[in-house]
Amino acid sequence: MFLMKKIFIVMTMLCTVFAVNAQSRFTKPADMTQQEEKPRRGLFDKDKTPIDKKYLEGACPMVGNKIVWQKYFNADSKSAKEIYDIMLKFLQKMTKEEGQTQKSNVAVVNEEEYQIGARFVEKMVFQNSALSLDQAEFAYQLLVYCIDGRCEVVIKNMTYIYEADREGGGVFPAEDMISDDIALNKKKDGFRKGGVKKFRMKTIDRKDEIFAKISRALKQEAEGGSTWE
């Protein structure tokens, strides 16, 4: 009987030792959880590159249920007629730029009220390499309203034709692709997943490029220049 009790005590001690060793071997150190936590993205993309705030909240303003960009350009020394003539030539030239399609045209001109309406359908290239070409057709309306000393330019009614011959492709309104609620995360400090980032960034860049060219065109004409590049 005494021998059995002794054996039982020894076995109990061995089991306790094994349990302690196993726990120490497999228990996660306290600081490992901290090491495994994913860093917060914040204003950073997957490659940790800071995201320019110009692409974030408020970059695609909504007027009603449409994304609309509008900007005023000063031309203090010019009459409404002179500004109208400058902008008409500018838009006619723009329809023939590289990347424009045959659908791009100056559709409406109102010489009495100095208003112009143009429709552009152009190539928007996301990636172009020897192995792949990723692009969309970007369509939008550009309106110009001229008065003495300045003009207003509006970009609206934007759509993308993307992979129309593939399943899931087709024609997509800008509101379904690049609006804050669709393209940005809940905190509005980064992009949602799903491929809309490239559309938002490229479209904002194109808008900035168009506005910059218009500003240069009006300035150069005011200074007696004639080139808009």
Please give the Cα distance from 177 to 190 (Å, whole number). 15
What stretch of H or E contains 62?
strand 62-63
pLDDT at 195: 84
What stretch of H or E contains 72?
strand 69-74
pLDDT at 48: 58
pLDDT tens per residue across all 229 residues of the chain: 554 555 555 455 555 544 445 444 434 444 444 444 443 434 445 555 688 999 999 999 999 999 999 999 999 989 999 999 999 999 999 999 999 999 999 999 999 999 999 999 999 999 999 888 999 999 999 999 999 999 999 999 999 999 888 887 899 999 999 999 999 999 999 999 888 999 999 999 999 999 999 999 999 876 665 544 4
Please give the Cα distance from 63 to 176 (Å, whole number). 15
pLDDT at 164: 84
pLDDT at 220: 84
3 state SS of 176: helix
pLDDT at 26: 39
**pTM as predicted:** 0.76
pLDDT at 224: 61
Strands (E) across 75-185 are located at 105-110, 115-128, 133-147, 150-162, 170-173
- Token match 């080139």: residue? 227
